[in-house]
């Protein structure tokens, strides 16, 4: 216990940290695109209006274990610690639900709360749980809970719309846009989880465990990261298309993709700078950020990723985009000169 207390006091706390300090550039860009999807406004309003946060909380109060000093006290300490690390107040409630599937989620709109499954708790060690709870705290701080809650509701709703083709496809289009955004938020909140645990190796062990690692002594993490490179560097365009088909209905990125993305950020100057106390603060946040700023930031990130990618389809699209951009520039310069 003394070793744990010593390590805890050694961790940096980020007073007044803005979510922009850790958010992945494509996260906000995807949200900007999501908001621009035709017809999405009425759907989101209808689902949000039908959601009763009090009712959802009452369900969890009645059927799960609410974490506190006398119920899962170790988890409660991690709850308080991760909230303090990211300077979140009030501290969200945490519930434990009986479910063998390893999962964590945030529900609610005005007062978000976190739900962990028993499968996740059984799977992870203490630092792994610190990372997982910190990840969910990142969702809370970034304000993701609203759209996450709507996505959960729509996923349930679509199951009842099979006999109404028009309604089904309208909802399905919104779900697809939400899923694309949600996958990007996971990259952001993995960073928040890393800021809470402050140990890239511990974060990597979580991704290995979620991918199928039962006894981590039998899994070489460097070999696991090699899988990410192999997944990225497919040689056949058909594999690239298959990756797109497999990915678009998912709410989370593939495990090796998440692991590689986070380890790259953990090795970056940006991460090290945050640990030294230099980071964006909430007090400096602008009330609103323009749609174009978010898209430009996301576009830069996509371009950098495409330039580094070994995926043949991504290379083709990147080169094609460069040709189009060059042609557009020449046309613009010609008309500007005239």
Q: 40 exposed, middle or buried (CB, 10 Å; 0-12, 13-18, 19+)?
A: middle
pLDDT at 327 over 50: no
pLDDT tens digits, one per residue of 35-80: 566 655 565 556 555 556 777 889 999 999 999 999 999 999 999 9
More reliable by pLDDT, 149 or 329: 149
pLDDT tens digits, one per residue of 87-144: 999 999 999 999 999 999 998 877 899 999 999 999 999 999 999 999 999 999 988 8
For residue 147 the two structure tokens come to 């759209």
pLDDT at 314 over 90: no
* Domain span at 72: 2-290
Instruction: Note whether residue 244 is domain-resident.
Output: yes
Q: What is the per-residue DSSP string for 300-317?
A: HHHHHHHHH---HHHHHH
| Residue closest to 208 by CA, chosen among 262, 255, 247, 261 | 255
pLDDT for res 291:
47
Instruction: Note whether residue 240 is domain-resident.
Output: yes
pLDDT for res 180:
73
pTM, two decimals, is 0.75
**CB-based contact 274:198 (threshold 8 Å):** no
pLDDT for res 24:
86
pLDDT tens digits, one per residue of 189-204: 999 999 999 999 999 9
Instruction: Note whether residue 315 is domain-resident.
Output: no
Instruction: Note whether residue 300 is domain-resident.
Output: no
* DSSP summary character for residue 287: S
| pLDDT (average), residues 82-89 | 98
Q: H or E stretch including 45?
A: helix 40-50
pLDDT at 7 over 90: no
**CB-based contact 98:119 (threshold 8 Å):** no
Quote the number of domains for the chain: 1
């Amino acid at each position: 216990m003394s070793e744990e207390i010593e390590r805890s006091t050694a961790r940096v706390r980020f007073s007044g940290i803005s979510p922009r300090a850790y958010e992945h550039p494509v996260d906000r860009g995807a949200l900007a695109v999501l908001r621009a999807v035709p017809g999405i406004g009425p759907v989101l309003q209808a689902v949000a209006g039908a959601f009763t946060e009090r009712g959802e909380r009452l369900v969890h109060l009645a059927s799960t274990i609410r974490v506190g000093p006398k119920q899962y006290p170790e988890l409660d300490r991690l709850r308080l610690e991760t909230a303090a690390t990211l300077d979140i107040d009030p501290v969200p409630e945490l519930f434990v639900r009986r479910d063998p599937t390893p999962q964590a989620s945030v529900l609610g709109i005005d007062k978000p709360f976190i739900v962990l499954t028993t499968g996740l708790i059984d799977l992870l060690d203490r630092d792994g749980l610190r990372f997982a709870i910190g990840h969910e705290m990142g969702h809370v701080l970034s304000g993701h809970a609203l759209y996450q809650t709507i996505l959960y509701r729509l996923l349930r709703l679509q199951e009842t719309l099979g006999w109404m083709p028009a309604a089904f496809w309208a909802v399905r289009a919104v779900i697809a846009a939400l899923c694309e955004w949600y996958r990007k938020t996971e990259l952001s909140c993995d960073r928040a989880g890393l800021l809470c645990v402050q140990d890239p190796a511990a974060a990597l062990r979580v991704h290995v465990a979620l991918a199928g690692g039962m006894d981590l002594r039998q899994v070489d993490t460097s070999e696991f990261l090699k899988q990410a490179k192999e997944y990225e560097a497919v040689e056949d365009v058909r594999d690239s298309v298959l990756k797109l088909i497999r990915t678009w209905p998912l709410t989370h990125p593939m495990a090796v993709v998440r692991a590689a993305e986070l380890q790259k950020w953990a090795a970056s100057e940006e991460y090290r700078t945050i640990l030294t106390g230099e980071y964006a603060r909430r007090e400096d946040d602008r009330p609103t950020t323009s749609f174009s700023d978010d898209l430009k930031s996301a576009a830069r990130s996509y371009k950098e990723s495409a330039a580094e990618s070994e995926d043949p389809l991504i290379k083709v699209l990147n080169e094609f985009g460069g040709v189009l951009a060059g042609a557009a520039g020449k046309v613009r310069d010609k008309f500007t000169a005239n």
